[in-house]
């Protein structure tokens, strides 16, 4: 697949790039690989620090509230009983690690499958490398308007992230900036459109084919 390179003014340049078919044009993209890789990414974002106090962790007296028999009511233990207000919780959440292992080949297949879907839907734009002299959100919004993608969730991929570009885009909730060696399936699928820097293509191929 061959794509035209655009400049930051939204204009076509005289250059074109050839996308690697082993990355951007798989014959059989794997939906299951995308699912598991995205699931692993979301699982890794969970802190897993949730905790509720169980019966043995509640502070207070351990005195038995009333005698075992003869009252005509159910037997009671101490005030920590989960049936009472302020008592411990039965089978409450405990700290845990939600992460799980996923083979490198599956993760690579997931990234290639996500890029294949984006390329097939014509949602990839190759753009020249650019940098800003100073952090200006307005300048970044103007760039999006040149391509008519303002308001869409977009992902910009660079070989190295320029600090001023990062600061210019950080207040835009629908824009994400990432390096080519840090792309992940979740981010690729979440974005409506991909803007890939011309010099980031070799890095993306290296990540997906290693």
Quote the pLDDT of residue 150.
81
Quote the pLDDT of residue 194.
94
pLDDT in tens, 52-69: 999 999 998 989 988 999
Q: In terms of domains, do 18 and 64 share one?
A: no
Quote the pLDDT of residue 209.
84
CATH number of the domain enclosing 162: 3.40.1370.10
Grade residue 162 by pLDDT with cuts at 50, 70 and 90: confident
Q: In terms of domains, do 112 and 52 share one?
A: no
CB-CB contact of 19 with 201 (8 Å): yes
Grade residue 119 by pLDDT with cuts at 50, 70 and 90: very high
- What percent of the chain clears pLDDT 70, i.e. is strictly above it? 100
Q: In terms of domains, do 135 and 71 share one?
A: no
Q: Which residues, in sequence order, are bridge partners of residue 190?
A: none
Q: What is the mean pLDDT of residues 11-21?
A: 89
Q: In terms of domains, do 126 and 40 share one?
A: yes
Q: In terms of domains, do 39 and 52 share one?
A: no
Q: In terms of domains, do 83 and 133 share one?
A: no
Q: In terms of domains, do 76 and 175 share one?
A: no
Q: In terms of domains, do 117 and 17 share one?
A: yes
Q: Which domain holds residue 61?
A: 47-97
How large is the C-alpha radius of gyration of the chain?
Answer: 27
| pTM reported for the whole predicted model | 0.83
Q: What is the mean pLDDT of residues 155-181?
A: 92
Q: In terms of domains, do 163 and 87 share one?
A: no
Number of folded domains that form the chain: 2
């Amino acid at each position: 697949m061959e794509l035209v390179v655009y400049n930051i003014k939204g204009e076509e340049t005289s250059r074109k790039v050839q996308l690697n078919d082993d990355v951007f044009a798989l014959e059989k993209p794997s939906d299951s690989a995308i699912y598991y890789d995205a699931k692993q990414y979301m699982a890794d974002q969970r802190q897993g620090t949730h905790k509720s106090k169980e019966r043995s962790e509640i502070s207070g007296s351990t005195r038995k509230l009333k005698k075992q028999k003869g009252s005509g009511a159910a037997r009671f233990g101490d005030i920590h009983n989960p049936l009472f207000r302020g008592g411990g919780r039965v089978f409450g959440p405990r700290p845990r690690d939600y992460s799980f292992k996923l083979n490198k080949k599956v993760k690579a297949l997931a990234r290639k499958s996500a890029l294949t879907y984006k390329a097939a839907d014509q949602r990839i734009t190759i753009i020249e490398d650019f940098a800003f002299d100073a952090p200006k959100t307005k300048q970044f919004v103007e760039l999006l308007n040149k391509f008519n993608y303002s308001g869409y969730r977009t992902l910009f991929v660079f070989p190295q992230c320029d600090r001023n570009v990062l600061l210019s885009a950080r207040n835009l909730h629908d824009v994400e900036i990432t390096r080519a060696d840090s792309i992940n399936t979740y981010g690729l699928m979440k974005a409506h459109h991909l803007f890939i820097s011309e010099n980031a293509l070799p890095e993306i191929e290296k990540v997906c084919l290693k």
